[in-house]
Amino acid sequence: MAALNDEPGVHLLWITEAGLRRLGSLLVAAAEAVGADEAMSRAGFDWFRGSAEAIERHRDGLTQDGQGLSQAVLTVAKLLLVDDPRDHRQLVRADRVLQRTHLAATVRWLAMQHMNQISERVDRDRILGREPRFASALSALTGGTSGTVVSCFRLGHPEEPGRVTPRRIVAEVLLLPVRCRSPS
C-alpha cells in the first residue's frame, strides 16, 4: 500500500505497535479537547445526520450506520502528511493518495476509519493563536518530520461488514445541473 503514493510533497507515515499507544493517548486527548470546546463541538454536530430526511437532503456527513459502533480489529494506524498545508495542490495530491488507499483497502477486504481529532485540534489552536499543544505532540510522534498531518486513520480487518452511508451523485459534487437522479 505504501507504493500507492507517487505524489510530490505527500507522505504516508505508518504508525505501528511502538507508536500506537502514544497515538491513542493523543487521539483521546484531542477528542476530549474537541468536546470541551463548545463552538467546535457544535460545528462538528452540524455534520451529524440523525434522520432519514437529513441523510437524503444532505447526502454527506456522519450517520449512526457509518460509525462502526462495534470494535474493529486494529492492525495499523496511518498518518497522511503534506509538506505545506497552505499549498492546495499538495492537499489535492494528499486526497488522491487517500482515495487510492481507500480503494486498495476495500479490494483487500480491509476497513478504514478516519480519526482526525488531532489535526482538527492543531488547526483550531493555530486559528485561535493558542500554544501548539497537539502540533508539538504530533511532531514528537512522527519523529519531527517537517510535514503537516492532514489525515489520520486506522486500517484493519472489520469484525462485521460496514454499512452503506450516504453519497452524493457526481453532478452534485461538481455543482453541475442534475437532469436525473439515480435511485438510492
Q: Which CATH superfamily is domain 2-173 in?
A: NADH Oxidase (3.40.109.10)
Q: At what angle do helices 133-141 and 17-36 cross, to 10 degrees?
A: 170
pLDDT given for residue 121 in this prediction: 92
Residues of the chain short of pLDDT 70, as ranges, are 50, 62-79, 146, 175-184
Looking at residue 19, its pLDDT comes to 85
Identify whether the C-beta of residue 61 lies closer than 8 Å to the C-beta of residue 48.
yes
Task: Tell me how far apart the alpha carbons of residues 88 and 99 are, in angstroms, rounded to a whole number.
Answer: 16
The confidence score (pLDDT) of residue 78 equals 55
Phi then psi dihedrals of residue 95, to 5 deg: -65, -35
Angle, helices 17-36 vs 117-128, to 10°: value is: 50
CB 39 within 8 A of CB 51: no
User: Using the 8-state DSSP alphabet, how is residue 3 labeled?
Assistant: G
Classify each residue of 32-53 as buried b or exposed e, where b means 16 or more C-beta atoms within 10 Å of its C-beta.
Answer: ebbeebeebeeeeeeeebeeee
Q: Which three cell numbers stand for residue 59?
A: 447526502
pLDDT per residue over 155-167, tens digit each? 888 887 777 777 7
Say what the pLDDT of residue 25 is: 92
pTM assigned to the model: 0.69
Paired with 148 in beta bridges are: 82
